Amino acid sequence: MELSIVISLFNEKESLRELVQWIHEALAGKVSDYEIIMVDDGSTDGSWDTIQEMAVTDKTIHGIRFRRNYGKSAALYCGFEAAEGDIVVTMDADLQDDPTEIPEMMRMIREDGYDLVSGWKKVRHDNKLTKNLPSKLYNATARKVTGIKLHDMNCGLKAYRKEVVKNIEVYGEMHRFIPYLAKEAGFGKIGEKVVHHRKRKYGKSKFGLNRFVNGFLDLMTIWFLQVFGRKPMHLFGLMGTVTFLIGIVITLWLIIKKLVLQSQGRIFRAVTDQPLFYLALLAVVIGTLLFLTGFIGELISRNSSNRNSYNIKERF
């Protein structure tokens, strides 16, 4: 199969029929064999009924329904698992992503050799205060942390080589960082395409300002897990050792200073009377706890079932 289109949706009943028709028109004569996988993330507006009705006459449509709302990452994970196409495209169901962009994104993967092509909504039709400005700030931070030069990492319209979606695990709210997950899995050729962004036609956005706060927290989480997930001692052990040594050095300095003053017959303060001693003692305790945290993390990592799961590119 040439193409799988994975669409995660939550209460988008009004737009589904129009979206499917638009996809068929965009791919007519350009893609001969494709499937549309619609993942209903616990909708309560009758979206699933609409999907079932369309699937009766349209055999390209496949449906997955959650019992409750689990989030976009869960929907994409199940969609990726079910996808059979050589190229997998993700898009939203709100008619803001333009399916006429799909053929060119497929060409970039096939002919230009990209592993992943991310859409860039260069001209957005969202509220500038609540979406555009926070989005620019978020993407600037994401570029700095991940090293991936994408202008719109969270764009829902993306195209992937099949191997990419089969070798990454999307969970929690990590759908925002699929390019980074792909990069860490060894798929480093990541491209970008300016895509047309349409104004929402039906309903209202499911996302608020809180998603940007959560996005920054998730970015820190995924960076930490990718860098130190398999080697926690490299972080906690180093921090613990440095903190412990600082505490020991300060303590020794206070003791030596006291002995020198005492030997010279000069006035001195008892070590335990000095506030700096208790700060040093605190540093020793914190350093020990950090080191033990890294040690426990190593034990957990070494007993993890996927401690030796690596992405093998070729074998003969």
Identify which has the larger pLDDT, 213 or 13.
13
How far lies 78's CA from each of 37, 71, 291, 301, 309, in Å? 10, 11, 38, 26, 20
* Residue 267, pLDDT score: 83
> What is the model's pLDDT at position 123?
81
Range of the domain at 255: 233-302
Domain count of the chain? 2
In a domain, 240, yes or no: yes
| Residue 314 forms part of a structural domain | no
Q: Which residue has the higher pLDDT, 95 or 201?
A: 95
Give the percent of the chain with pLDDT over 90: 55
Any residues with CB less than 8 A from the CB of 282 and at least 6 apart, and which? 247
Give the tens place of pLDDT for each residue, 241-270. 999 999 999 999 999 988 888 888 888 888
Same domain, 63 and 203: yes
CATH of the domain at 142: 3.90.550.10
pLDDT at 292 over 50: yes
Residues 6+ apart with CB under 8 A from 274: 254
Lowest-confidence region among 82-86, 171-175, 235-239, 291-295: 171-175
User: What pLDDT score does 61 carry?
Assistant: 97
Asked if residue 205 has pLDDT above 70, the reply is: no
Going from the C-alpha of 142 to that of each of 2, 65, 120, 206, 208, the distances in angstroms are 32, 32, 14, 22, 19
Distance in angstroms (rounded) separating the CA atoms of residues 303 and 299:
6
Shared-domain flag, residues 162 and 269: no
- What mean pLDDT, rounded, does the chain reach? 87
Of 228, 247, 272, the position where a domain reaches its end is: 228
Domain boundary among 228, 255, 277: 228
Q: Do residue 38 and residue 87 come from a single domain?
A: yes
**295-306 residues labelled b (16+ CB within 10 A) or e (exposed):** eebbeebeeeee
Q: Is the per-residue pLDDT at 126 higher than 80?
A: no
Higher-confidence residue: 148 or 62? 62
Residue 316 located in a structural domain = no
**pLDDT digits 0-9 by tens, 151-202:** 888 889 999 999 999 999 888 778 888 998 899 889 989 999 999 888 777 7
Residue 203 shares a structural domain with residue 257: no
CA distances from 302 to 19, 68, 108, 169, 226 (A): 47, 34, 40, 20, 16
Residue 102, Cβ neighbours under 10 Å: how many? Answer: 24
Same domain for 140 and 172: yes
What is the value of pTM for the model shown?
Answer: 0.74
**Dist CA 97 CA 152 (whole Å):** 13
Tell me whether residue 309 is in a domain.
Answer: no
Residue 169 identity? E
> pLDDT at position 212, please?
61
Kindly tell me if the per-residue pLDDT of 307 is higher than 70: no
